[in-house]
């Protein structure tokens, strides 16, 4: 038979102190009258400090914090998008094919209309690059060749952008 391992005296003393505190709590509760027990329980429910260990603190879960941050970011992005739509900024996309300037699409396009479409596409690229002088010059030249092309939504948006740029003095000399 092997001898049981001996605990150091400090460990034995710590265990005895813990047991004594536990025994003291048991003896205190056992010595209380029913009214005292009821009063202590009522105090505990109202949040008054009662003898015993402090309750554990609740920590905020990381998932809740992450969800709050994500919600804030989504609201901020939505606000930026909505503000951009209200400011009158119009997106011009020159890579779209030009809209036909005459109603019947089956009829062959006149050389002037084809030239106007080519000039208009180059002008729309200049508008996208905010090269306002080339933008205005190209749109005006295309209008002279094919006035019906001014109804193209891209041209309308480009004209609005030109007017906005002129108001903000972005037009180069």
Number of domains, the chain: 2
Inside any domain, residue 172: no
Inside any domain, residue 40: yes
Task: Tell me if 153 sits within 8 A of 100, measured CB to CB.
Answer: no
Inside any domain, residue 90: no
Inside any domain, residue 92: no
Inside any domain, residue 52: no
**pLDDT tens column, 54-108:** 666 666 788 888 888 899 898 988 888 887 655 555 555 555 555 555 444 555 6
Domain enclosing residue 41, as ranges:
10-46
Inside any domain, residue 58: no
Inside any domain, residue 96: no
Q: How far is CA 173 from CA 110, 125, 135, in A?
A: 34, 19, 13
Inside any domain, residue 99: no
Cβ neighbours around 114 below 10 Å, total: 14
This prediction's pTM: 0.38
């Amino acid at each position: 038979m092997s001898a049981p391992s001996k605990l150091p005296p400090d460990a034995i003393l710590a265990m005895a102190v813990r047991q004594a505190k536990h025994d003291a709590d048991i003896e205190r509760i056992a010595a209380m009258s029913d009214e005292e027990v009821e009063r202590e329980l009522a105090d505990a429910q109202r949040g008054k400090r009662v003898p015993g260990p402090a309750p554990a603190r609740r920590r905020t879960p990381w998932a809740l914090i992450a969800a709050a941050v994500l919600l804030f970011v989504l609201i901020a992005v939505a606000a930026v998008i909505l503000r951009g739509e209200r400011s009158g900024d119009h997106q011009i996309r020159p890579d779209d094919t030009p809209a036909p300037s005459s109603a019947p699409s089956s009829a062959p396009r006149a050389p002037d209309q084809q030239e106007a479409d080519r000039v208009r596409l180059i002008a729309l690229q200049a508008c996208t690059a905010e090269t306002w002088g080339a933008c205005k010059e190209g749109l005006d030249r295309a209008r002279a060749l094919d006035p019906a092309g001014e109804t193209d939504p891209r041209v309308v948006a480009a004209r609005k952008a030109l007017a906005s740029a002129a108001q903000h003095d972005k037009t180069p000399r």
